[in-house]
Amino acid sequence: MGSSKASIPRIVIVGGGAGGLELATKLGRRLGAKKRAEIVLIDAAATHIWKPLLHEVATGALNTGEDEVNYFGHAHRNGYRFEFGYMDGLDRERKVVRIAEVRDDTDELLAEPREIGYDTLVLALGAIANDFGTPGAQDHCMFLNTPEDAEKLRKKILALSFAVGASGNPVKKLNIGIVGGGPTGVELAAEIDHTIREMHNYGAGLTPAQLEITIIEGAERILSTAPESLSHYATDALAERGILVACNSRVSEVTDAGFALANGRTIASDIRVWAAGVKAAPWLTTLGLATNRFNQIEVTTTLQTLTDKHIFALGDCANAPDGEGGKPLSATAQVAHQQASWLADALETLLAGREVKPFVFKPQGVIVSIGKHTAVASLASVVGPKRDYYVEGRGAKLIYASLYRLHQAAVHGWVLAGLLWIGDKLRRAAQPALKLH
Ligand SMILES: Cc1cc2nc3c(=O)[nH]c(=O)nc-3n(C[C@H](O)[C@H](O)[C@H](O)COP(=O)(O)OP(=O)(O)OC[C@H]3O[C@@H](n4cnc5c(N)ncnc54)[C@H](O)[C@@H]3O)c2cc1C
């Protein structure tokens, strides 16, 4: 399994997330199944869940058991091989990736450390939230980086809403503070609000009036990277639901009682979530590849690392300039999805010994979900920059939902994605809308 000595080239992709799994699927079908290249996907988890769904996992609106993809089964059906394990090192001279030993939940050793050789390596390792070194953030905040984080948050919300509801004190409140008024923070706040209302309808937990959610944002408006009018739409939609927004508010310290802001204000919070900022995992700076101050791997417009042209990086772990204009691309599923499609074509072209043109991002607009039935979307980039085109409500929600369906189509093909969509509809008609245990 060490270095690749086979007659066909071996392409190793590390990270089977929004970008990596789509890339492995495309390359597996096009090259792996036809034995034109050996495609290997490595991931630290045994199953994939699309990261933009994590706020729905955190509220029980989505059951991971139903929406996750098992890598082993998926690899078998799509012409690539899956290797389960956490990459913790790289030897560029020998062209091998190092995988740490694998242990189960009871700490039993399942696999010794191992090495996997590559001819071409693609790093698609994602990112984590950036707490900017804020004192107390790591100890007193919950995060939303992994399905395990989302599950912990779900259980905490369920437990505390039950406790407040069961206290019999109608003025007692459950305070939830969310740092970050970007899409993640906004979507999470609206989803928690929706969940508490739904639970109340079921006769469980606290009343909606006992819930107080505050989004804490350092910039002067939420969704600060989206057009201003979209921020206004979203602010109004949150206000209608009673969700508070504190803009121009920088967190200076987090304690187990809440957030201390730089402007002297404090926000009491029983549950504290850090959903601001993005950085790559710090260990990426140890690989001998050039990285930026957010630990992201520096790549060219063809996604090749500045240090080694046989190593590519995409998605949140990469700092990639746009092929048109050179602006750094943001850490979104939209970017990871387009980079994966582009790289699948590019690797085929490079294998054939031809040159590739730079990757150019085609923005599809900004879409933010606000609860079960609403989303706000700015589609100016799709319909043309001269028209400020916004959609709200169910229309926007439909467009939002189609993003996930596109990911499913990339991973399963259109037919299976269509069947899964029908299956979801049927399942949701037959089951409670929330996972309450
Ligand atoms: C709650 C939430 C909501 C979001 N909503 C949106 C949205 O609406 N629209 C949008 O465009 N973007 C959204 N995003 C951002 C989007 O999820 C990311 O930009 C996208 O998932 C990045 O894709 P990726 O392939 O780079 O990484 P990821 O999808 O994060 O995948 C990384 C993969 O690498 C694996 N991995 C990590 N480290 C290792 C290691 N050392 N060894 C082996 N495997 C490893 C992980 O297990 C994971 O499978 C949201 C993010 C969050 C958290």
* pLDDT at residue 316, rounded to an integer: 97
Instruction: Please choose, from the candidates 143, 127, 134, 140, the residue with its C-alpha nearest in 3D space to the C-alpha of residue 282.
Output: 127
CA of 404 to the centre of ligand 1 (A): 13
Which residue of 125, 149, 184, 286 sits with most ligand 1 atoms within 8 Å of its CB, as the best mutation to test the pocket? Answer: 125
- Percent of the chain beyond pLDDT 90? 66
Mutate to test the pocket of ligand 1, among 123, 332, 334, 362 (most ligand atoms within 8 A of CB): 332
Which segments of the chain belong to CATH 3.50.50.100?
137-278+366-430
Minimum CA distance residue for ligand 1 atom 14: 52
Domain with CATH 3.50.50.60 in the chain: 10-127+280-351
Mean pLDDT of 34-48: 96
Q: How confident is the model at residue 21 (pLDDT cuts 50, 70, 90)?
A: very high
Whether the predicted pLDDT of 182 surpasses 70? yes
Q: Distance (Å, rounded) from C-alpha 296 to C-alpha 317? A: 5
221-253 confidence digits (pLDDT tens): 999 888 888 888 889 989 999 999 999 999 999
Residue pair 283/339 in contact by the 8 Å Cβ criterion: no
Residue-wise pLDDT for 193-229, tens only, equals 988 888 888 777 788 899 999 999 999 999 988 888 8
- The CA distance from 117 to 134, in Å, is 39
What percent helix, strand, coil does the chain show, rounded to 5? Answer: 35, 25, 40
Q: What confidence category does residue 3 fall into, taking pLDDT thresholds of 50, 70 and 90?
A: very low
Mean of the pLDDT values across residues 261-281? Answer: 95
Distance of CA 205 to the CA centre of its chain: 29
HSE, side-chain direction, 13 A CA sphere, residue 437 = 1
- Give the Å distance between the CA of 423 and the centre of ligand 1: 25
420: pLDDT confidence band, cut at 50, 70 and 90?
confident
As a whole number, the mean pLDDT across the chain is 90
**pLDDT reported for residue 6:** 61
Tokens representing 31 are 């090259």
CA of 277 to the centre of ligand 1 (A): 13
Q: 72-96: per-residue pLDDT in tens?
A: 999 999 999 999 999 999 999 999 9
Higher pLDDT, 365 or 346: 346
Q: Whose CA is nearest to atom 30 of ligand 1?
A: 126
Q: Measured from the CA of 150, which atom of ligand 1 is nearest?
A: 1
CATH level 2 (architecture), domain 10-127+280-351: 3-Layer(bba) Sandwich (3.50)
Contacts of 289 (CB under 8 A, 6+ apart): 90, 297, 298, 305, 306, 307, 308, 311, 313
Buried-state track 80-106, b at ≥16 Cβ within 10 A, e below 16: bbbbbbbbeebeeeebbbebeebeeee
Phi and psi at residue 161, to the nearest 5° = -70, -35
Distance 205 CA to ligand 1 centre (A): 32
Contact 175, 215 (CB under 8 A): no
Q: Tokens for 102?
A: 């694998």
DSSP 245: E
Model confidence pLDDT, tens digit, residues 85-133 = 999 999 999 999 999 999 988 999 999 999 999 999 999 999 999 999 9
- Spell out the CATH class of 137-278+366-430: alpha beta
Q: What is the mean pLDDT of residues 317-321?
A: 98
Which ligand 1 atom lies nearest to the CA of residue 331? 19
Q: Which atom of ligand 1 is nearest to the CA of 58?
A: 1
Q: Which two tokens stand for residue 361?
A: 């991002």
- DSSP string for residues in 18-47: TTHHHHHHHHIIIIITTTSSEEEEEESSSE
State the DSSP string of 356-387: -PPP------EEEE-SSS-EEEE-HHHH-TTS
Ligand 1 atom index nearest CA of 145: 53
Say yes or no to pLDDT of 292 above 90.
yes
Q: Which of 151-155, 177-181, 254-258, 432-436 has the lowest mean pLDDT?
A: 432-436
Pick the more confident residue, 390 or 319: 319
Tell me, what's the pLDDT at 357? 94
Query: What value does the mean pLDDT take over residues 61-72?
Result: 80
pLDDT of residue 178: 97
- Residues contacting residue 287 through CB under 8 Å, at least 6 positions apart: 89, 90, 297
The confidence score (pLDDT) of residue 218 equals 95
Residue 304 has pLDDT above 90, yes or no: yes
Predicted pLDDT of residue 384: 58
**H/E element, 123:** strand 120-123
CB within 6 Å of ligand 1 — which residues? 14-20, 42-45, 48, 51-52, 54-55, 86-87, 124-126, 144, 183-184, 187, 315-317, 331-334, 336
Nearest alpha carbon, ligand 1 atom 35: 15
Cβ atoms within 10 Å, residue 156: 16
Under a CB-based contact definition with an 8 Å cutoff, are residues 89 and 287 in contact? yes
pLDDT band for position 414 (cuts 50, 70, 90): confident
109 beta partners: 103
